[in-house]
Each structure stands twice: as structure tokens, then as C-alpha cells.
Amino acid sequence: MINFFLTEAYSQCLSEIEDHIFTTTANLEHVIRFVDEHDRVLTFIAHNPKTSATHPVTGDQSWVFGDGRYRIFFKLVPHSAEDTTVYLTHIIDNRQANLEVYPNNTMPTYQQHHE
């Protein structure tokens, strides 16, 4: 059985991404689409927890979703052969990060219809 644990930092970043999507699009459907994609990637991780390689220094794993726009970081803690906790430690929105670093950048890094 896979159990997910959202760290406080993860929950905060998740909320900020949802706020960013709504603030920049004024469209609740885009937020719902993001939440659906997020839920699908968690389902994928639950069925394939060892698919992504473990980072040799940090020990975490990551998975990209949303056509490469988002990346979640997590750590697996096995308790037994059948029981594992997935600690979701961080999530990033590449477009949001690019806008914060390059606020005057008008060249889209992803397809516009996703936002």
C-alpha cells in the first residue's frame, strides 16, 4: 500500500501554483485541469513508485507532468514489502519560476493554451 504525505512546504507551493494559475488566467477551469493532472501523476507514482531514479546526492526522486511545466519531488520510505510512504517534498511550476526570474520575458516557454 502506498501512502502519500504532503509536507508543509509542498502544500504551500501547491497552493501558490494554484493561485498563480488563477491570477494569471482568471479561469477556474485551468486550476481544475492542473489539479486533475496533479492527481493523475500521484496515481501514476502510486502504481510505479520506483520508476524515476533516486538522486545520488539528495536521495529524492522527481517526476514531471503537465507537458513538462510542473515537477514534483518526493522521497520513498518503505516500511515493508507492501507498505511505503511517499513524502511529497516540493513542487515547482517552471513557467512561474521563469516569470519571477525574467519578468520581462515575453517569449513563451510552453504552449499558451495550457494557461
Beta strands in 1-115 (DSSP E): 2-6, 61-65, 70-78, 84-93
Of 39-43, 79-83, 103-107, 110-114, least confident by mean pLDDT is: 110-114
Q: Domain spanning 2-103 has what CATH number?
A: 3.30.2310.20
* Average pLDDT value for residue range 85-107: 74
pLDDT level of residue 109 (50, 70, 90 thresholds): very low
Block residue for cell numbers 481544475: 32
H/E segment holding residue 78: strand 70-78
Q: Residue 16: what residue type?
A: E
Would strands 2-6 and 84-93 be described as parallel, antiparallel, or unpaired? parallel
Integer Cα distance of 13 and 11 in angstroms: 6
pLDDT tens, position by position, 3-56? 999 999 999 999 999 998 999 889 999 999 999 999 999 999 999 888 888 888
Integer Cα distance of 67 and 64 in angstroms: 8
Residues 6 or more apart from 73 whose CB is under 8 A from it? 60, 61, 62, 88, 89, 90, 91
pLDDT level of residue 87 (50, 70, 90 thresholds): very high
Integer Cα distance of 112 and 38 in angstroms: 19
pLDDT above 80: residue 95: no
- pLDDT score recorded for residue 49: 82
Q: Which three cell numbers stand for residue 22?
A: 488563477
pLDDT over 90 for what percent of the chain? Answer: 53
28 or 97, which is more confident? 28
pTM for the complete prediction? 0.78
